[in-house]
Homo-oligomer: A and B are copies of this chain.
Amino acid sequence: MSTGTDDATANLGRRRGRRPAGEDTRGAILAAARDEFAERGFDGASIRSVARRADVDPALVRHYFRDKAELFAAGMIPEGADPAAIASGLVGDGVDGLGARLLTAVLRVWEADGGVAFRVAFAGMTAGELQAEALVGYVGREVFGQVARVLPPPDQQLRVSLVASQMVGVLMTRHVLQLEPLASMPVDAVVALVGPTLQRYLSGPLT
């Protein structure tokens, strides 16, 4: 449909004259989506309602995000963080020490906004399974696919799911359950404690 990201943004943005082309349109849409999911839950929100809140055309929302599920998943990532770029940088140095590097990066990403993005994703969660699929798909594509490629065969997917289980647990403990003392420890101290677990899941003997 569009020839390039910038052109499409500018065209779609200007056509309705709602939003100057220079502005961070994607960021504004994400911020609106977070508010919308937090208020109405996943089922109650729609591409259309997010577009209305962000004051853009729904087509512009669809330009950046394939569907509501991808919008939800992207909303879990604090502004400014690019999971794919981070993962690519981390796996570039190989599997040695990857557990500590990965955990440091993930904790810092969700630390940056005081855990708001992570908690808001929770607020939007319902008993439905669509968001879970969306999250797994998004994080899988952007991050864990890259990680899996540097892992020793044949258990790459198992290793990745174990890594995810410990990472999401640490994020839950810090930002949702707020269970002390783990909740308030500096990132480096958490990495010293939990890094060895992740490294075993990534490259150690599993049983």
Q: Which residues of A contact B (CB under 8 A)?
A: 38, 41, 119-120, 122-123, 125-127, 129, 132-133, 135-136, 157-158, 161-162, 164-170, 172-173, 176-183, 192-194, 196-197, 200, 206-207
Closest chain B CB from A187 CB (angstroms): 14
In the assembled complex, 11 residue pairs joining A and B whose CB atoms fall closer than 8 Å, in A order, are: A119-B127, A123-B126, A125-B176, A132-B176, A132-B177, A161-B181, A164-B173, A164-B177, A165-B170, A165-B172, A168-B173
The 4 closest A-B pairs by CB, nearest first: A169-B169, A161-B182, A123-B127, A165-B173
Q: Which label, helix, strand, loop or mixed, suits the secondary structure of the A interface?
A: helix
When C-beta atoms are compared, the residue in chain B nearest to A176 turns out to be: B132
| Nearest neighbor of A131 in chain B, beta-carbon distance | B176
Known A38-B127, A125-B125, A127-B120; contact A172-B168, beta-carbon cutoff 8 A: yes
Q: How far is the CA of A180 from the CA of B120 in the complex (A)?
A: 25
**CB closest chain-B residue, reference A120:** B127
The CA-CA distance from A200 to B204 in the complex, in Å, is 15
State how many angstroms separate the Cβ of A95 from the closest Cβ of chain B.
18
